[in-house]
Amino acid sequence: MNQPAPSLAPSFSVIPGAQVHEVINGKEDEVTRIVEAAYRLHGTGRTVNPDSYFLTFPDRPSSRIIALPASLRGEDAVHGIKWISSFPENVAAGIPRASAVLILNDARTGYPFACLESSVISAARTAASAALAAVELSKQRGGRPTRVGFFGTGLIARFIHSYLAGNGFSFDELGIHDLSAEHADAFRGYLARTEDGRITVHGTAEELVRSSDLIVFATTAAQPHVTDPEWFTHNPLVLHISLRDLSPEILLASHNVTDDIEHCMKANTSLHLTEQLVGNRAFVAGTLYDVLTRQVVCPPDRPVVFSPFGLGVLDLAVANHIYNQVSMNRSLHTVADFFTELKRYG
């Protein structure tokens, strides 16, 4: 559908955030299935997902812009790249920390054919990945948790909650912990509008961890700040989305699953720090694809930690779906004459 006919000059469209939201809002289960399909393509070698490239700034060490190139094969083949920035200081200024765009490239000609606002795509694919892991890992552990704790209360936490609910999770107890009391209170207000369970704002990280069977880490932490394995002796399922919250000691006491082992062993993630500490990767049981295909089975008597680095192929799959839906609805915003030098000799 997204492949221009060879005889036609390539077109270029812009899909703003409002259209992205219109396509995927309330479609959590559908987006989760798209993400699952992308994981299965990746697990069978039908993707190209190079290392992410980090643009960092000596004068702003907490900020970065990341390039995630990717390619999907199959009947709906497409190439592309996500360009996503993270500037934590934005929050104090009243705008979101992250902003992003994504470019889709035609698989046959290489021409870019669409630019999509991608902060919502990024949040949705992150949340869908987390929800998919929660569903599959819970199956292996004999039932879904009913006590959830959110460590960090930003956009990603909200999307993960929405995608957990959209995949059939319901909770009797919901815990919140955030370094900002204001943000914690706002997140509590959001949960109160959507949940019937008891909601508690915890004053300490330990209280949140010990009172939750499913823990969502969605922070901007640059290094481990949760360090005591004793907090996890009740063997919770941990969605370690922000990747740098947990100390190596906690990971070494846990059953670890990731989305792509090679990708996670870089940029001083908790997994990377653990590898540097012990000198091997034996502490990682496998990938989410291994869980989906039952090559990895999670034990009930250890904490289970899912640490996804975030694969560009997931963004690409969701973005391509959005493009196809907008195109079918004949509501593409096409930029006329975006490509002008189309004759070899003028």
CA distance 104 to 265: 27
**In contact, 163 and 198? CB cutoff 8 Å:** no
CA distance 145 to 291: 18
Strand 255-258 with 304-307, pairing: parallel
Nearest CA-CA partner of 80 in 104, 47, 53, 48: 104
Model confidence over 218-263: pLDDT tens digits? 998 989 999 999 999 999 999 999 999 999 999 999 999 999 999 9
- Sorted by sequence, the CB contacts under 8 Å of residue 298 that are 6+ apart come out as 137, 140, 141, 255, 257, 285, 291, 304
Q: What is the DSSP string of 148-200?
A: EEEES-SHHHHHHHHHHHHTT---SEEEEE-S-HHHHHHHHHHHHHH--SEEE
**In contact, 128 and 165? CB cutoff 8 Å:** no
> Fold for domain 130-307?
Rossmann fold (3.40.50)
The amino acid occupying position 322 is I
pLDDT of residue 155: 92
CA-based angle 51:52:53, to the nearest 5? 115
User: In 24-77, at which residue ranges do the beta strands (DSSP E only) sit?
Assistant: 47-48, 53-56, 64-72
User: 100 has which bridge partners?
Assistant: 84
Per DSSP, the three-state class of 4 is coil
pLDDT of residue 75: 82
The model's pTM:
0.93
Q: Please say whether the structural domain 13-121+312-334 has been given the CATH code 3.40.50.720.
A: no
Q: Which stretches in the chain have pLDDT values below 70?
A: 1-9
CA distance 317 to 90: 28
DSSP at 94: T
Domain edges within the chain: 13-121+312-334, 130-307
Model confidence over 8-25: pLDDT tens digits? 567 999 999 999 999 999
pLDDT of residue 318: 98
Q: Annotate 237-263 with b (16+ C-beta within 10 A) or e (fewer).
A: bbbbbbbbbbbbebbebbbbbbbbbeb
